């Protein structure tokens, strides 16, 4: 299984990301170059020493990784573009870790990038099992159905998921790279423009562009660097053809499996986590991922959010960057940007949104149709 971790240790020694924003005036190659150069500078590693690079993206066309990375001075060494829907960036990071663990490289780079346009999401993102209703945007429509199912089964309320949006925005206030940073209230969220009944626009992630990069190295290379962060687990699962009539199945099963394998690989449990970046593409998704990651019992994600357990200073700090909801969600960049946030938290470099004594972090991404990736990072 992919949980086998009898390979070499892999550590993150450099991270960086662009601001997430519309970036209407910048080419995606330029965003990728900026993130890659800054991550290498953070690592103190020369571009010429990168032995393999993986680039996660969804919509950026042929050899987007080469276009960005050749500008950053990476040429000659293999560049591999990877795609796994919204988990594309996580897949790039997973592959960089695999290259170092497997010994084919001592220095690997993971880059994620995406320039999103309005309407960039296609009508049918692969093997999606929930049908969209006429006139409702596909993904919001799917998650409206997910919310209704979770609400019916467990009593989750709109107010509870609105509190997730408010919490993530409160974290984004302190993150200069987040797309949306103005504080909001539960009332703001509930009264915002409806997108797919009953979800409002503030319960849905925005359309953002950006890039993020991480440098993954072997233990001998890491010893010469400041503050290396160890990759204790790197798990990628794909979707199993499942029952199509349960809207919760697709958001529960694959993520729960990926988390269980990651905990096993890292030798930790949910109670050991200090900081988490998860796939809060919609506020209801964050609530269900609390349950999938074992932060609270099944069905109690809404209460977990409402109790403030997932804010900075709570039981475990979730979406400290602002999450997809407020930092933004440039598809291919997201998974790597999650690693950037958690690495900075574990280094103690997160400024006003720093989680005190953060020593163990987790990232989680889901690409519908599909893949789920979970990484555990430790000081």
Which residues contribute to the site for a second copy (CB under 8 A)? 1-2, 4, 6-7, 51-53, 58, 61-64, 66-67, 69-70, 74-85, 91, 94-95, 98-99, 101-105, 122, 125-127, 236-241, 257, 367-371
Containing 161, the helix (H) or strand (E) segment is helix 158-172
In whole angstroms, what is the distance from residue 45 CA to residue 58 CA? Answer: 28
Rounded alpha-carbon distances, angstroms, from residue 323 to 102, 147, 183, 310, 334: 31, 19, 14, 12, 9
Query: Minimum Å distance from CB 231 to a second copy?
Result: 13
Q: Catalytic pick from 150, 179, 329, 364?
A: 329
Q: Which two tokens stand for residue 126?
A: 């692969």
SS3 277: strand
Query: Minimum Å distance from CB 176 to a second copy?
Result: 31
User: Residue 212 — φ and ψ, nearest 5°?
Assistant: -145, 150
Q: Catalytic pick from 23, 57, 86, 179?
A: 86
In whole angstroms, what is the distance from residue 155 CA to residue 360 CA? Answer: 31
**Catalytic annotation on 23?**
no
**Catalytic annotation on 281?**
no
Containing 229, the helix (H) or strand (E) segment is strand 229-238
Cis before 339? omega within 30: no
Query: SS in 3 state form for 88-145?
Result: HHHHHHHHHHHHHHHCCCCEEEEEEEECCCCCCCCCCCCCCCCCCCCCCCHHHHHHHH
Cβ nearer to a second copy, comparing 133 with 257:
257
Q: Which two tokens stand for residue 44?
A: 């103190």
- Hey, which residues are catalytic here? 86, 329
């Amino acid at each position: 299984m992919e949980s086998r971790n009898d390979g070499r240790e892999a550590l993150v020694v450099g991270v960086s990301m662009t601001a997430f924003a519309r970036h209407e005036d910048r080419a995606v190659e330029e965003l990728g170059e900026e993130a890659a150069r800054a991550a290498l500078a953070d690592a103190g590693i020369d571009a010429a020493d990168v032995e393999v690079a993986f680039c996660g993206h969804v919509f950026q066309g042929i050899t987007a990784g080469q276009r960005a990375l050749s500008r950053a001075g990476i040429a000659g060494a293999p560049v591999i573009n990877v795609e796994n829907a919204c988990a594309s960036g996580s897949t790039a990071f997973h592959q960089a870790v695999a290259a170092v663990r497997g010994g084919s490289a001592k220095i690997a780079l993971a880059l994620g990038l995406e320039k999103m346009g309005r309407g960039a999401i296609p009508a049918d993102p692969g093997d999606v099992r929930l049908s969209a209703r006429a006139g409702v945007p596909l993904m919001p429509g799917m998650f409206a159905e997910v919310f209704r199912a979770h609400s019916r089964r467990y009593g989750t309320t709109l107010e509870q998921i609105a509190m997730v949006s408010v919490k993530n925005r409160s974290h984004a206030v302190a993150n200069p790279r987040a797309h949306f940073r103005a504080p909001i209230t539960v009332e703001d969220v509930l009264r915002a423009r409806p997108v797919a009944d009953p979800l409002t626009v503030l319960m849905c992630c925005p359309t953002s562009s950006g890039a993020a990069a991480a440098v993954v190295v072997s233990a001998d290379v890491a010893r010469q660097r400041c503050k290396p962060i160890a990759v204790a687990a790197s798990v990628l699962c794909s979707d199993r053809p499942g029952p199509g009539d349960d809207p919760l199945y697709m958001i529960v099963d694959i993520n729960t499996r990926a988390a269980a394998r990651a905990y096993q690989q890292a030798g930790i449990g949910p109670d050991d986590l200090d900081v988490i970046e998860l796939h809060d593409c919609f506020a209801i998704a964050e609530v269900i991922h609390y349950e999938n990651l074992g932060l609270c019992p099944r069905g109690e994600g809404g209460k977990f959010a409402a109790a403030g357990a997932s804010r900075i200073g709570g039981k475990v700090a979730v979406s400290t960057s602002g999450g997809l909801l407020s930092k933004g969600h440039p598809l291919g960049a997201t998974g790597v940007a999650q690693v950037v946030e958690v690495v900075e938290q574990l280094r103690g470099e997160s400024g006003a949104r720093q989680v005190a004594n953060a020593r163990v972090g987790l990232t989680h991404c889901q690409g519908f149709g599909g893949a789920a990736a979970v990484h555990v990072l430790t000081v």
